[in-house]
Each structure stands twice: as structure tokens, then as C-alpha cells.
């Protein structure tokens, strides 16, 4: 039986301590870290030389520590469509998450650095991005829901439907929602159908379009 090659990753962060720790954590989890960079320019150059399956990059990097990492991630996605990007942020900054997803919904993710301490959550996010999925930190989803106006259809959702909506917006499949909430597949399908109907969104079997539609609605 042919062995499956490990997922190859690039890691970029100006903090040597954090970067090295993250690389060791990922390698212990079975990934192969082929690129390490302490600035966006070096990350882009190394990706050009040998594109990995995905890159994990901090948003705020030298020289201005604003959005260099985000811009590097966007450039990598344009040049290498098969390389996923997972952006990490120290603080919850919804506008950065929305900018990333506005440009590309497939193979992208946004997580808070606090999530790195949860190995299962981090490795799951990496694999989903590599597979072409999308990952949105639950904190972003919660913030978007909190910002909704009073007179909007979200208020018509039941508590359970809100839970399902949050998981949908994170990019979870129906199966993942079923497992996470301990409900049947048919119940999940019913909740999803009701949510899309109440939000005035067209139902589609395409998970990426569904996530994009939900995020676009929440963002408005």
C-alpha cells in the first residue's frame, strides 16, 4: 500500500519563538513544514520556489505591522491557486476576515492565535483549507451575529437554528454539524433548509457558495 505523503506547509511569523513553536506543533501532528519565514517578502519568494499545500501566516508583520501578512496571503492565492492560506490574528479583527473571504472563499481561513493552543482545532483547520474549504474563527461569526440590526430575519431563527447558522458560517459540512450538535442528518437538513428560507437565501448543494452567501448576509 502506497504511503500518503504528508501535507506540506509554509509558516510565516516575525516572532521566532511563536514560529518555531508552531512548526514543532505541526510537525508533531504529522505535517511537513517546508518553509519558514519571518517576513512577507521572504514567504512569497520561498513559495515561488516550491509551493507548499498551504501557508499559515500572521496578519501583522514587518515593516509596518498592519496587514502585510494578509496581503501576502492574497498574493499567494492569486499566483498559486492550489496553495491554501490560513491567516492568524492576535486580536479579533472582523474587517480583515471579511477582506480575506471577499477575495476568495475556497481554500482560505482566518483564526485567532488563541486557537493554536487547541491542536485538534488547528490541524482540522489546516486540513480543511488544504482540501479547498473555508475556515472562519467562531469569534468572527459571533461578532457578526451581534452586529445584526434588530429588524432582520436572524431574529426569527430559533436558538438551535442560530447554532447551526454559526457552524455553517464556519464552513462546517452537514455531517460535521450533525456530529457537533449530536442530532440526526435529517434534523440538520431541516434546520439548514429553514435557515436559508428565513434568510431569503437560495438553497444550493455547493458548500462554498452556501458559506459565502451566509457570510455576505451577516456582513450586510
> Over the stretch 2-42, which tens digit does the pLDDT of each residue have?
678 899 999 999 999 999 999 999 999 999 999 999 999 99
In degrees, rounded to 5, the angle at the alpha carbon of residue 66 between the alpha carbons of residues 216 and 51 is 75
Structure confidence at residue 216 (pLDDT) = 58
Exposed, middle or buried: residue 143 (CB in 10 Å: 0-12, 13-18, 19+)? middle
If phi > 0 it is left, if psi is from -120 to 50 it is alpha, else beta; for residue 171 that is left
In degrees, rounded to 5, the angle at the alpha carbon of residue 218 between the alpha carbons of residues 217 and 220 is 65
Q: Does domain 8-136 fall into CATH 3.40.47.10?
A: no
Q: How many angstroms separate the CA atoms of 165 and 177, rounded? A: 10
Q: Which cell numbers hold the place of 4?
A: 500518503
Q: Which cell numbers hold the place of 210?
A: 452556501
pLDDT tens figures, 149-196: 445 667 778 889 888 888 887 778 889 999 999 999 999 999 988 887
Q: Which of 211, 206, 158, 148 is nearest to 183 (CA)?
A: 158
Q: Which of 94, 75, 77, 85 is nearest to 137 (CA)?
A: 94
If phi > 0 it is left, if psi is from -120 to 50 it is alpha, else beta; for residue 50 that is beta
Hey, do 8-136 and 141-219 end up sharing a CATH topology, with the first three levels equal?
no
DSSP 8-state symbol, 155: G
Structure confidence at residue 6 (pLDDT) = 93
State in words which class domain 141-219 has: mainly alpha
Quick check: 39 and 61 in contact, CB under 8 A?
Answer: yes
pLDDT tens figures, 101-132: 776 778 888 888 887 888 888 999 999 999 98
Q: Domains of the chain: which residue ranges?
A: 8-136, 141-219
| Helix intervals (H) in the chain | 16-28, 40-49, 68-79, 94-103, 119-130, 138-147, 159-169, 174-181, 185-198, 207-219
pLDDT tens figures, 58-117: 999 988 888 899 999 999 998 999 999 999 988 777 778 777 777 677 888 888 888 788
Amino acid at each position: 500500500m502506497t504511503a500518503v505523503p504528508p501535507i506540506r506547509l509554509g509558516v510565516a511569523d516575525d516572532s521566532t519563538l511563536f514560529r518555531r513553536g508552531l512548526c514543532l506543533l505541526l510537525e508533531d501532528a504529522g505535517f511537513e513544514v517546508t518553509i519558514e519565514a519571518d517576513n512577507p517578502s521572504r514567504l512569497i519568494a520561498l513559495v515561488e520556489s516550491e509551493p507548499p499545500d498551504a501557508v499559515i501566516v500572521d496578519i501583522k508583520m514587518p515593516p509596518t505591522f498592519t496587514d502585510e501578512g494578509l496581503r501576502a496571503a492574497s498574493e499567494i492565492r492569486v499566483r498559486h491557486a492550489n496553495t491554501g492560506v490560513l491567516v492568524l490574528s492576535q486580536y479579533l479583527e472582523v474587517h480583515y476576515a471579511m477582506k480575506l473571504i471577499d477575495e476568495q472563499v475556497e481554500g482560505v481561513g482566518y483564526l485567532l492565535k488563541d486557537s493554536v493552543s487547541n491542536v485538534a482545532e488547528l490541524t482540522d483547520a489546516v486540513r480543511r483549507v488544504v482540501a479547498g474549504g473555508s475556515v472562519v474563527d467562531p469569534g468572527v461569526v459571533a461578532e457578526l451575529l451581534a452586529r445584526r440590526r434588530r429588524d432582520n430575519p436572524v431574529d426569527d431563527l430559533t436558538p438551535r437554528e442560530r447554532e447551526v447558522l454559526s457552524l455553517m458560517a464556519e464552513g462546517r459540512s452537514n455531517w460535521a454539524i450533525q456530529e457537533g450538535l449530536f442530532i440526526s442528518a435529517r434534523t440538520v437538513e431541516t434546520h439548514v433548509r429553514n435557515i436559508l428560507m428565513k434568510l431569503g437565501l437560495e438553497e444550493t448543494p455547493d458548500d462554498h457558495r452556501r458559506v459565502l452567501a451566509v457570510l455576505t448576509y451577516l456582513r450586510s
